[in-house]
Amino acid sequence: MEIARRDLILSAAALSLTSTGWAAGRGDRPLGYAIVGLGTYGLNVIIPQFANCAHSRLAAVVSGDPAKAQRVAAEHKLPARSIYSYETFDSIRNNPDVDIVYVCLPNSMHAEYTIRAAKAGKHVMCEKPMAISVAECEAMIAACKQANRKLMIGYRCHFEPFNLEAMRLAKTGAAGKIRYVRTEHGFVQRSPEAWRLKRALAGGGSLMDMGVYSLQAARYMTGEEPIAVTARESTDRRDPRFTEVEDMIEWTLEFPSGAIAGCQSMYSANQNHILLMGDTGRIELEPATRYDGNHMWTGKDGREREITPPPGPAKTQFAGQLDHLVQCIRSGREPIVSGEEGLRDMRIVEAIYRSAREGRTIRLDGRA
């Protein structure tokens, strides 16, 4: 992520997401989201966030469980015409209340429903990871461009106050010249039956889930794009949870400035940490990317000063994310975390897997 792009992240987040923005002042109606997938994230995390939004509202639900869909619709006073199954999803094109489709499905379904939503004339928010391959990401971007629809990836940390302040501090030299970033994300997957442990649904293991946070943090804290990656996997294949996907994977990223990032993801331990070290100081977040309760410190060689970031840019990171896409649709701007950003991550993810598989460093800059 080049410096100019990080400037865009900070300025767009600060200027376009306030509840007193130009759209609210004009009295424009909130744009309607259809939530595709009523699993834990879509139902318990995203849907409640519309109460915190200034420019977004719940307009429809899509689920394979008719009873659940009807219950959720009734709770949110949605008409029967706003309930869809996966089979009837394409008819959403005829619902003028739906402006945006939010894809909250298993990873392997992201491409299909993003493309179908674009063909139905709807803008798309897609959860991370964007898809399970570079080819799918490219197809999603092409479909949205062909339909002249916006595509945004659900990178919520770009709207979270602690991460935004950490980006600002890193950019303004609070730690001096950046030399090293350490970022680790993981949690304990308990059930072997979880869809995230099924390759056909998840596309991979911890890297395709928590690893995305580590990869994103390395990129937005350095403000650079990596030029090489070296990775190693550690998985106990005797564990019934990990018969199909990896548990722990660690990788090192090299950046053009000479900075290095050490990254890790895991499904067998709890960790949520970002540490940036420069030649004059440190910036540390722990926990770093949770839904709430994050903390940050700066110092010369330790946690000398705890940092409380300014509030916003919205009531919550989720509301900021939802409203940002609305503002982009209205203004014609590209989202700060567009489909191209998801594609950049997936290219690196594929290189990480290749490096771990082949036991060698993979160049990302086209050099041999």
Rg (CA), the chain: 20
Which residue is catalytic, options 113, 213, 220, 353?
Answer: 213
The DSSP annotation for 13-31 comes to: HHHH--TTSHHHHHTPPPE
145 a catalytic residue: no
Token pair listed for 353 = 């897997």
267 is catalytic: no
Q: Which helix (H) or strand (E) holds 56?
A: strand 56-62
How would you classify residue 293: left for phi > 0, otherwise alpha for psi between -120 and 50, otherwise beta?
Answer: left
Residues 6+ apart with CB under 8 A from 53: 30, 314, 319, 322, 323
How does DSSP classify residue 156?
A: G
Sign for the CA dihedral angle at 60, 66, 70, 71 comes to negative
Cis peptide before 287, with omega less than 30 degrees from 0?
A: yes
CB atoms within 10 A of CB 34: 25
Order of strands, sheet of 296-299, starting from the edge strand that comes earlier in the sequence: 305-307, 296-299, 282-285, 268-278, 178-188, 260-266, 248-254, 228-234, 362-363
Which of 122, 128, 150, 171 is the catalytic position?
128
47: which DSSP letter? G
Grouping H, G, I as helix, E, B as strand and the rest as coil, residue 158 is helix
Catalytic annotation, residues: 128, 213
